[in-house]
Structure formats: structure tokens, C-alpha cells
Amino acid sequence: MPGYEIERFPSLSANEKSEYTPFATKMPGYEIERFPSLSANEKSEYTCSICQDIFCCPMTAPCCLQTFCEDCIHNWLQTNNTCPYDRKTLTVNGLSRPPRVLMNMLGKLKIRCDFRDKGCKEVVNLEDLIQHTTKCKYNVDKNVKKCKKCFCEQKSGHDCI
């Protein structure tokens, strides 16, 4: 649907929405601006309703089948015991990885290089971003670790699939 916008936390009151700021730093998803050919439909399908960016290490809630970035939903569940979408009871153990088809579609999205701000003009499939990033001539730290399954930066304790 052209012009469709995902509402952030549709079940929260206006007061709760304005007060909720889960992160003091950059959100974990991929910034939408990095995807030059993202359609409105793709944006609505692949956007985390917590950070409003494209999923990074997606996790699905069983209650509503909504998908969120792993870091977003884990951070949410540190201070809440309900789903941010439908407010039903939810725990980290109740989350699951999304269907493989979603991961495959995410992997085919075209994304700008991590080092665009340093001068790289490359646009690659999200699933190829790791390979490009490690070889990119603008990467001063060639040891960037990215998860080969969910395509996001691999942090300590990361356990994807």
C-alpha cells in the first residue's frame, strides 16, 4: 500500500508512546535510508515496530506473529512482560526465529555499504554485506564480525538459529 506507515506500538496510549525511549544510543535495526530501492510494501513488511528500521536478527512473537529486531525485543522485555504490539504476556523464551522465507527475502534487499560515509558507493544484497564489508577498501578495521545468518553485527553472546 503506497504511503502505508507502520504505527509504533499501536496498543500503547499516546502518553505511554511519548514516554517510551528504550535506547540511549542508535537503534539496532538497519536504517531505512540505506536501502535505495525499498518499496513501500517492503518497508511495511520488513520494519521493526520498535526501532522503525529494517530488521536486524529478527525474532517473532507467537501471540501476534509480529517480528522485531532481536536487540529491540530483548531490551523491551527487560522492563516489560508483554508484547509491545498486542500487550499479551511475552517472555524471551517465547520468541522464535521467523520463517526462512522472510530471512531469504531480507537477504535479497539491496543495502548501501556500512562505509558509505567514508566514501564507499557500493550497493549489495544484504546477504552479501558481510563479504563486502570485510573487503571494502574504506573499512579500516577489517575484523568487523557479522552474523552470516541474520546479517547484523555479531556481538558477544549472539546465538542466531
pLDDT in tens, 24-79: 345 689 999 999 999 999 999 999 999 999 999 999 999 999 999 999 999 999 99
- How many residues in total does the chain contain? 161
Q: Is the pLDDT of residue 124 over 50?
A: yes
Please state whether beta strands 110-112 and 67-69 pair in parallel, antiparallel, or not at all (unpaired). unpaired
Which pLDDT band, with edges at 50, 70 and 90, does 117 fall under? very high
Superfamily for domain range 1-161: Zinc/RING finger domain, C3HC4 (zinc finger) (3.30.40.10)
Which pLDDT band, with edges at 50, 70 and 90, does 140 fall under? confident
- Residue 11: what pLDDT? 42
- Given a contact cutoff of 8 angstroms between Cβ atoms, the answer to whether 150 and 107 are in contact is no
Which pLDDT band, with edges at 50, 70 and 90, does 17 fall under? very low
- Residue 26: what pLDDT? 53
**Hey, where are the domains in the chain?**
1-161
